[in-house]
Amino acid sequence: MGIQFEAFVVCEKTGRLVPTGYVLKQDRIEASPKPADDFSFKCPACEEMHTWSLDDATVRLVAR
Protein backbone atom coordinates (compact mmCIF):
# COMPACT_ATOMS: atom_id res chain seq x y z
CA MET A 1 0.00 0.00 0.00
CA GLY A 2 2.83 2.44 0.78
CA ILE A 3 2.79 5.70 2.66
CA GLN A 4 -0.26 7.88 1.98
CA PHE A 5 -1.10 11.46 2.87
CA GLU A 6 -4.39 13.35 3.08
CA ALA A 7 -4.33 16.79 1.42
CA PHE A 8 -5.63 19.93 3.12
CA VAL A 9 -5.89 23.48 1.77
CA VAL A 10 -6.88 26.85 3.19
CA CYS A 11 -10.46 27.85 2.31
CA GLU A 12 -10.33 31.06 0.28
CA LYS A 13 -13.48 32.38 1.95
CA THR A 14 -13.07 31.41 5.63
CA GLY A 15 -9.30 31.05 5.97
CA ARG A 16 -9.77 27.63 7.65
CA LEU A 17 -7.61 24.61 6.85
CA VAL A 18 -9.99 22.06 5.30
CA PRO A 19 -9.66 18.50 4.02
CA THR A 20 -9.87 18.13 0.25
CA GLY A 21 -10.98 14.50 0.30
CA TYR A 22 -7.89 13.49 -1.69
CA VAL A 23 -5.36 10.91 -0.47
CA LEU A 24 -1.98 11.01 -2.21
CA LYS A 25 0.91 8.55 -2.36
CA GLN A 26 4.34 9.63 -1.17
CA ASP A 27 5.93 9.52 -4.64
CA ARG A 28 3.39 12.04 -5.95
CA ILE A 29 4.15 14.48 -3.15
CA GLU A 30 7.93 14.12 -3.47
CA ALA A 31 8.00 14.45 -7.27
CA SER A 32 10.29 17.14 -8.60
CA PRO A 33 8.93 19.11 -10.24
CA LYS A 34 5.52 18.59 -8.70
CA PRO A 35 2.77 17.60 -11.15
CA ALA A 36 0.89 20.66 -12.40
CA ASP A 37 -2.50 18.96 -12.02
CA ASP A 38 -5.33 20.99 -10.56
CA PHE A 39 -7.90 19.30 -8.33
CA SER A 40 -11.40 20.47 -7.41
CA PHE A 41 -13.53 19.78 -4.34
CA LYS A 42 -16.57 21.11 -2.52
CA CYS A 43 -15.27 22.93 0.54
CA PRO A 44 -16.78 21.73 3.84
CA ALA A 45 -16.25 25.19 5.41
CA CYS A 46 -18.04 27.40 2.85
CA GLU A 47 -19.69 24.80 0.58
CA GLU A 48 -18.23 26.40 -2.56
CA MET A 49 -16.06 24.66 -5.15
CA HIS A 50 -12.31 25.29 -4.82
CA THR A 51 -9.47 24.35 -7.15
CA TRP A 52 -6.04 23.54 -5.76
CA SER A 53 -2.66 22.11 -6.77
CA LEU A 54 -0.03 20.17 -4.84
CA ASP A 55 1.85 23.42 -4.24
CA ASP A 56 -1.20 24.74 -2.34
CA ALA A 57 -1.61 21.66 -0.14
CA THR A 58 -0.63 20.81 3.39
CA VAL A 59 -0.47 17.05 3.90
CA ARG A 60 -1.00 14.73 6.86
CA LEU A 61 0.11 11.12 7.11
CA VAL A 62 -2.87 8.75 7.03
CA ALA A 63 -1.43 5.27 6.24
CA ARG A 64 1.86 3.40 6.21
Q: With pLDDT > 70 as the criterion, what percentage of the chain qualifies?
A: 92
Is the separation of the CB atoms in 9 and 20 below 8 Å? yes
pLDDT given for residue 1 in this prediction:
61
| pTM, rounded to two decimals | 0.84
Sign of CA dihedral 30, 23, 5, 26: negative
The average pLDDT across 47-57 equals: 93
The average pLDDT across 48-62 equals: 93
CA distances from 59 to 1, 9, 51, 54 (A): 17, 9, 16, 9
Is the separation of the CB atoms in 27 and 21 below 8 Å? no
The average pLDDT across 28-53 equals: 87
